[in-house]
Chain A
């Protein structure tokens, strides 16, 4: 089957089959990444703009490497986050870039839905590298790929997602993706960080405590506490947060033996994860990063009109 979308903005917009296609393609792409010469001509002559309105090292680099391994020309732009206050609107910026005829714009933006706004108005493909607290589909896909590597399936997994769900686009993409693939998702965090109606997001259970969420879990996914977003009202102190919502070797024992520990990074060591867990045997954090490149190659490939052929 072919991939029919011009853009990839949210896993909410994709079917189970489309998600599977992206994961399968990513598996194929991984082979390229293990070669001595990590480059194929697939997207030769294509121009990709990485337009990052928010600071990012790993996601931007990962997209850039993905583009280059497919032989596309990738350009990075980091406009001031306050372009609106400088007078140029997002649409004006985009129109200017459009005049330079890119094929794909990979964008990160602090405002949820900014990608839909562009996608409706520009003919090129838009890939979401994170929008506000909405979605981060490449992260969701790389997380699912990492889980599938470990278990061979996603159906029937118990996945605990712990932390600041309200502000987490990673959580939203994972919830959308995982519930479509048949996983059961359990959320935990301080009630100040669990959004209204979260239980309606799919096959999701909101737990009263972290222990309840990770009890018997196959996967424990810890979310980053975004210190810049917590203000003064959501948490008393990081110390208290880590005590009640941090993952350490003790509470990890509640999860299944050999359960996967995941984190989208960057980790606040000693807050979300104790270093024993972050660097321990059960941590899959570096595998997540590794899979990121393959997943992003798959995304670039499919929005460019690529068809997966079994090799």
Chain B
């Protein structure tokens, strides 16, 4: 089965391509990228005129809630949401029930994703057993079973000695360690960013220092152990300063941010809006600007969604009791495309952060359209206008702060291993 994608603006940062070209796909792999390609009569042909054709987008931080919390999301609906958002690969965090801290859970995820998922699913295992921060999980077996990284996700490893050993051990196993950098004792009972809005609303604040202090600790541990470290969902100017300085002196640290941190501020919490409740919390305008500057100067390597589906009852409740997080797979692309419009990033730089870099960080063979590579391709229609609606979101959960808002830009086609898994309209 062949597929020919014609006339699109092909962007492949790894090959330094940004040109109007055709792409020929055969047997699930990229066969050729060139002008004026022809295909066998049996080939499916997609006219991508006016669209961007990019390596399939990779979201390195999602929550598929499967196993155990399928009432929020499962591998079927989660990968469908990913495909609708233009993602061909997702890495799913281990805070399932049970926690993905052993090869049995990993194998379940891998098998179910293969059988029923529509995009590639790369599991992230836990750093510690049960993500309890007490003893190391079997990272070697996790990797063998298919995990591409380890993270205790929302439960940062509080014990500094254990974190040091985790970094060393993960390095030995050749698996990336992802830190949720948060000093919980500073968070206390905080439910939103500490600042004027929290003061006015009478809500307990989470200081930016909770993120900065933990980032500093983990960056220094990475430097000390000479181990690679990836920091998840960075949201503060202080943490970015620490990471920027560390990178400059050669520390092996990478980081990601999420679209809500460059799109929203803690102002969005006004009205006790539970769909603006997340962790780390939405920050100040100065932090938002710092995130954009760090995207621009390369301090931030990747854009990930932290897609966090929750059931209606878990959000339609008093603010303090509402769970943290928002869904993000289907809104990430249009929100990130705004960065191009605002000239924060060039289009190829955006594709680097949404496909090339996450693949590199996780060590997965994705993020390029080189002949011979897996034909994971996203065709983006930058002009498509659509309204975020609970009725049309593919995710099982609808906890988005953008419900009712009009977005510009969408995946026209999402192609995994040469097969169209999503077609818009």
Chain A residues proximal to chain B, CB less than 8 Å: 12, 84, 89-91, 109, 111-114, 116-117, 131-135, 169, 172, 195-198, 200-201
Contact = CB atoms under 8 A, between A and B. Distances in A.
Nearest to B196: A197
B271 A116 contact: yes
A195 B199 contact: yes
Contacts of A196: 194-196, 198-199, 205
B402 to A, nearest CB: 19
Interface stretch (B231-239, B317-325, B342-350): B317-325
Contacts of B199: 195-198, 200-201
B202 A134 contact: yes
A90 B195 contact: no
B236 to A, nearest CB: 14
Nearest to A132: B202
A112 B203 contact: yes
Interface residues of B, number: 21
B272 A112 contact: yes
Interface string B281-318: 00000000000000000000000000000000100111
A132 B200 CA distance: 12
Contacts of A89: 313, 317
Given A133-B202, A201-B199, A113 B272 contact: yes
Contact of A116 (B195, B203, B204, B272): B272
Contacts of B198: 195-196
B201 interface: yes
Contacts of B195: 196-197
A172 B317 contact: no
B317 A135 contact: no
B196 A109 contact: no
A132 B318 CA distance: 11
A114 B198 CA distance: 15
A131 B202 contact: yes
24 contacts: A90-B317, A90-B318, A111-B319, A111-B320, A112-B203, A112-B319, A113-B272, A114-B319, A117-B272, A117-B317, A117-B319, A131-B202, A132-B320, A133-B203, A133-B204, A134-B201, A134-B203, A169-B202, A195-B199, A196-B194, A196-B195, A196-B199, A197-B196, A201-B200
Q: Indicate the member of A109, A116, A195 with the most B CB atoms within 10 Å.
A: A195
B196 A113 contact: no
